[in-house]
Structure 1
Amino acid sequence: MSTTNPSYPVLRRLRNVALAASPLLLAGCATLSADGGMQPVQSAAQQHLGQNVEVVKTAADQDRVATRVAELLARPLNADSAVQIALLNNRGLQASFQELGIAEAELVQASRLPNPGFSFAKVRQGDTREIDRSFSFDLAHLIALPLTRQLEARRFAATQRAVSSEMLSLAAQTRKAFYAAVAAEQTARYMRDVRETADAGAELAKRLTLAGNWSKLQQAREHGFFAEAALNFARAEQNRLGSREHLIRLLGLWGTQTQFTLPERLPDLPAALQDQPDIENVAMAQRLDVQAAKLQAEATAKNLGLTKVTRLINVLEFGYQRNTFNDAPRQTGYAVSFELPLFDWGTARVARSEALYMRSVQRAAQIAIEARSEVRQAYLGYHSSYDVARHYRDDIVPTAKRISEENVLLYNGMFISVFELLADARAQISAVNGAIEAQRDFWMAKADLDMALVGKPVSDSTAVN
């Protein structure tokens, strides 16, 4: 004979209740991550830059960053070390990192269950005493919780991509500022040499004029060249200081940190460039601004769905009540309250959400169109700047050098005077300066192309010429 255990149905009901309530319990226990949502940003820095990023939250973090920055500044900077300093030490970027903490906190808040409500009332009327107790819960919030959490999750992901894009943009700006600063120092040193040469020529012309071997017109020409050389050096020095200060701002340096050393010259041009015929597809697959725009459109679509769900029932509460009396039996029961859509049927909210969604869709399409154009422009600029710099390297500068060598031979053979030799030096100024600028423009174009593959290129207005 078999017997039926009456506790089995009770256990099954308890198990079903536990399974149904487990997602709600997990939602109520949502917590912040250990890295503050920095993992995608760190991955982007490693993948696209080969560098590290770190959020500065404590004094220990600041000391660790300061030590690393000091190590990098102890050696002459290169483009990679300058980028690493900017990623660690730029305060604006650190402020953007805190946006991740804000967005993650909003996500966690959206994932948690609403707090229940409890009310207690005690009323006395003569000898009659009434005690009311009620326990309520916001069912509308609970119903919308999954959609709200998905919405905030997409917003959080969009914030992560936006911060990653800002980080990559800072890296591109730093590279361009580094190349501009090195080129400015290289040009300033050359213009200093030109000024000193012009000064020597002007002094020699003055002495020859006093001796009666030169006319005042010839002396005036040499003095004019010296005056122009002095002016050009002053402009080059001004540009050097401005370019260096722009780099200092991006690196977040101050005080003695600003006394860093730059290399004496720009890096050499590569032997050849690699063709990238599918560069548009590569850019569309990995550009963070395109991905962020898509996520924003998806988040707005989810928000539209949430608005449609809650358009009629915006307030819905369920409550348990327990009332006791000193002269009557105890009362127990429940209460449901909701908002009646008599005057506001939610059509305005839905229309607003639909307009926001279409706006985000159109903006995402425009961002994609601009991304394709920007990467094409950056790729063509990269190749054309390389052709110009290579032309200076392989033709213009070697030709000017051969002319100078031949003139030195003529001067040594006493076929030309020292002033003719100085005139040849003046003719080389434009060739040398043009070569430095072309080499600088190539490396800055490369930085623009690298940025165009992962995000919006840095505007030329931010660069120091």
Structure 2
Amino acid sequence: MTSALSLLPMRRGKLLVATVGILGLAGCATFSDDGGFGRVEQTTRERLDKDVQWARSDAERSTLQARVGELLANPLTADDAIQLALYNNRGLQAAFFDLGIGEAELVQAGRLPNPHFSMLRASKPENGIREYKIEQALTFNIFALITMPLAVEVEKRKFAQAQQLAVIDVARLAAEARQAYYTALAAEESVRYLRKVRQAAEAGAELARRMALVGNFSKLRQTREQAFYADAALNLARSEQSAIAARERLARVLGLPDRNAIRLPERLPDLPKTIDELPGVEQAALDKRLDLQAIRLETEALAKNLGLSKATRFINVLEVGPARVLEGARDSGYKKGYEISFELPIFDWGGSKVAKAESIYMQAVERAGESAINARSEVREAYHAYRTNYDIARHYRDEVIPLNKRISDENMLRYNGMLIGVFDLLADARTQIGSVNSYIETLRDFWIARGDLEMAMIGKPSLNASARATIAVTGRADH
């Protein structure tokens, strides 16, 4: 480049200084130390009260693995499971590299395109002397400098949107980890309970068989006991399969290759004494939801992109630079000057480009309105599910389970007084099976609904794919 700039005559020194200055300004666009991840860390702490790390080196990955080992050393709580997923899920780590892509595009937008150097060399013998024609030109895309502020502004907003989407990825994974955790925990608690049911059914079936052999029990009653045992064994097998599937899903969310590395508590957490009252939940969601903020940034970026499209409607390439030409003998000297090149809007006046940008912008506006309406509905639905599941679980805890226990205690007193037999006692135990399993399921559903409400206040997980697709379609305008 230095040799090319030396083509300029001294009288064009000011142009050289201006050109070098422009290149110096363009070179100021650099990468940040954290790749924009600091904002993701801060928002995650504020919204989820969790730590999140982006492992971009082997040393950072080793540090995360050490933390994962510490979490796996003890039975996992729900918070531990979420934190483990944020540290160890490879899909989340892959999503963080969207920040690197976005920052690279932002830095690229702040840099001028490389200068173009062109050269023509031709010669032929003429009257015993070889005649030459040599043309050399070094040109710069001056129009890119004019549109650079608009392009940088577009990329800044897109990068901010990428940061918002990264936080939504974190929140989505946290919600998945919470749901998988409570599902696995409830499934294993059901397995432990159904094993006890099967043992009791097996004992009743064996007792009925022996009593039938000595003629103290009818074939019908014996068959009923056998059928109950068969159902208990079948229900246990299904429950064990569900527990394995739930544990495998939890292992996938946590990023663990072996499901047996997970240690879970013996039972679900107790139902809280009171429920959270959330007045103004709809407005709070509209103000705080990250997906709505990301859509707002996307719409603003598209508006800026529309302005850039209008700016480049007629001319999108304007190159200016020094040139020199030699014609004649090799030692005849160069003619020095400059070259200007630009696109002539003869066939394409840019109307289609502007029309496309306007349609994309209006499409984003309509989708933003739809998302705001859906957000209000989603948070209302999530809050209603949270309240309803709490009421149902509390009803089982305070009414159904105690009533069945009192019935069981009364029957035990009757059995001790020899007023009822052992099979009457077993029949009473069967009626409790459904209520206990239902309580486990409703308690699980409550904790999952609580997590869903927290997610509804943060953002909609499924938005990520469509938002990223929009980014890919709109792209950065050419300049």
TM > 0.5 fold call: yes
1:188 aligns with 2:172: no
1:258 & 1:284 partners in 2: Cα distance?
41
- The answer on 1:65 being equivalent to 2:64 is yes
Tell me, in whole angstroms, the C-alpha distance in 1 between the residues paired with 2:450 and 2:229. Answer: 37
Any idea what the Cα deviations from partners look like across 1:383-440, whole Å, max 9, x if unmatched? 1110000000111001111111111111111111111111110011111111111111
1:398 aligns with 2:395: no
Q: TM-score, normalised by structure 2?
A: 0.88
Per-residue Cα deviation, 1:300-325 (whole angstroms, up to 9, x for no partner): 11111111111101221112123356
Q: Does 1:452 pair with 2:451?
A: no
Per-residue deviation, residues 77-110 of structure 1 (Å, max 9, x unmatched): 1111111111111111111111111111111111
Question: Which amino acid letter does the alignment assign opposite residue 209 of structure 2?
Answer: K
Q: Which residue of 2 aligns with 1:375?
A: 379
Q: What SS class does the counterpart of residue 256 from structure 2 fall into?
A: coil
C-alpha distance in 2 between matches for 1:21 and 1:375? 55
Amino acid at match of 2:66: T
d(CA) in 2 for partners of 1:89, 1:59: 14
Q: 1:156 matched to which residue of 2? A: 159
Q: Which residue number corresponds to residue 423 of structure 2?
A: 419
Structure 1 residue 294, shift from structure 2 partner: 1.1
Partner residue, 2:472: none
Looking at structure 1, the residues matched to 303 and 19 of structure 2 have their Cα atoms a distance apart, in angstroms, of: 28
Indicate the percent of aligned positions where both proteins have the same amino acid.
51
Secondary structure (helix, strand or coil) at the match of 2:36 reads coil
Give the whole-Å Cα distance in 1 for the aligned partners of 2:116 and 2:23: 17
- Distance across 2 between alignment mates of 1:52 and 1:26: 37
In structure 2, how many angstroms separate the alpha carbons of the residues matched to 1:423 and 1:157?
Answer: 64
- Deviation for aligned residue 1:258: 3.2
2:298 maps to 296
| Residues 1:294 and 1:23: Cα distance change in structure 2 (over 3 Å) | farther
2:251·2:262 contact (CA, 8 Å) conserved in 1?
A: no
Q: Is the 8 A contact 1:65 1:89 kept in 2?
A: yes
Counterpart CA distance in 2 for 1:127 and 1:380 is: 91
**Equivalent residue, structure 1, for 2:47:** 48
Q: CA deviation at 1:132?
A: 3.4
8 Å CA contact 1:113–1:142 kept in 2: the answer is yes
- Report if the CA contact (8 A) 1:119-1:135 is conserved: yes
Q: Which moved more, 1:72-81 or 1:332-341?
A: 332-341
Secondary structure in structure 1 of the residue aligned to 2:458: coil
Question: Which residue identity is paired with 1:117?
Answer: H
1: CA distance between counterparts of 2:267 and 2:64? 28
Aligned-pair RMSD on alpha carbons?
2.2
2:225 paired with 1:251: no
The whole-number CA distance in structure 2 between the counterparts of 1:217 and 1:367 is: 62
Q: What whole-Å deviation, never above 9, does each CA across 1:189-248 have from its counterpart, x for those lacking one? A: 001100000000010011111011111111111111111111111111111111111101
User: 2:112 touches 2:145 (CA, 8 Å); kept in 1?
Assistant: yes
CA displacement 1:155-203 (0-9 Å, x = unmatched): 1111111121111011001101101111111111001100000000010
**d(CA) in 2 for partners of 1:458 and 1:137?**
44
Structure 2: gaps (5+ residues): 1-12, 464-479
1:202 aligns with 2:205: yes
2: CA distance, partners of 1:23 / 1:272: 64
Number of the residue aligned with 2:245: 242
Which amino acid letter does the alignment assign opposite residue 58 of structure 1? S
Could you tell me how far apart the structure 1 residues matched to 2:173 and 2:260 are? Answer: 19
Residues in 2 aligned to 1:147 and 1:366: alpha-carbon distance in whole angstroms:
28
Residue in 2 that maps onto 1:233 = 236
Q: Secondary structure at the match of 1:30?
A: coil
Cα distance in 2, alignment partners of residues 66 and 340 from structure 1: 59
What is the distance in 1 between the residues matched to 2:409 and 2:79? Answer: 38
* Cα deviation 1:268-324 (Å, max 9, x = unaligned): 111111321111111111111111111111111111111111110122111212335
Stretch moving more, 31-40 or 393-402? 31-40
Which residue of structure 1 aligns with residue 289 of structure 2? 287
1:365 aligned residue: 369
Q: Aligned in 2, Cα 1:19/1:410: closer, same or farther, shift over 3 Å?
A: farther
Task: Indicate if the aligned counterparts of 2:85 and 2:254 stay in contact, CA closer than 8 A.
Answer: yes
Q: Judging changes above 3 Å, is the alpha-carbon distance between structure 1 residues 36 and 43 closer, same or farther for their aligned structure 2 residues?
A: same
Q: Which one of 261, 264, 270 corresponds to residue 262 of structure 1?
A: 264
Decide which of 317, 335, 341 is 2:319's aligned counterpart.
Answer: 317
Give secondary structure in 2 for the equivalent of 1:453. Answer: helix
1:332 aligns with 2:331: no
Q: 1:169 aligns with which of 152, 167, 172?
A: 172
TM-score normalised by length of structure 1: 0.91
* Counterpart secondary structure, 2:460: coil
Mapped contact 1:172–1:458 kept (Cα < 8 A):
no
Query: Is residue 438 from structure 1 mapped to residue 442 from structure 2 by the alignment?
Result: yes
The number of equivalent residue pairs is 445
The answer as to whether partners of 1:114 and 1:142 remain within 8 angstroms in 2 is: no
Runs of at least 5 residues in structure 1 that lack an aligned partner in the other structure: 1-13, 460-465
Contact 1:448 1:457 in 2 (8 A): no
In structure 2, the CA distance between the partners of 1:277 and 1:322, relative to structure 1 (3 Å rule), is: same
CA distance in 1, matches of 2:276, 2:185: 25
Which residue pairs with 2:274 in the alignment?
272
Structure-2 separation of matches of 1:416 and 1:368: 63
CA–CA distance in 1 between the matches of 2:165 and 2:440?
A: 35
Distance 1:19 1:335, change over 3 A: closer
Q: Secondary structure at the match of 2:271?
A: coil
Question: What is the letter of the counterpart of residue 291 of structure 1?
Answer: Q
**Is the contact made by 1:451 and 1:458 (CA closer than 8 Å) also made in structure 2?**
no
CA distance in 2, matches of 1:34, 1:19: 30
Structure 1 residue aligned with 2:35: 36
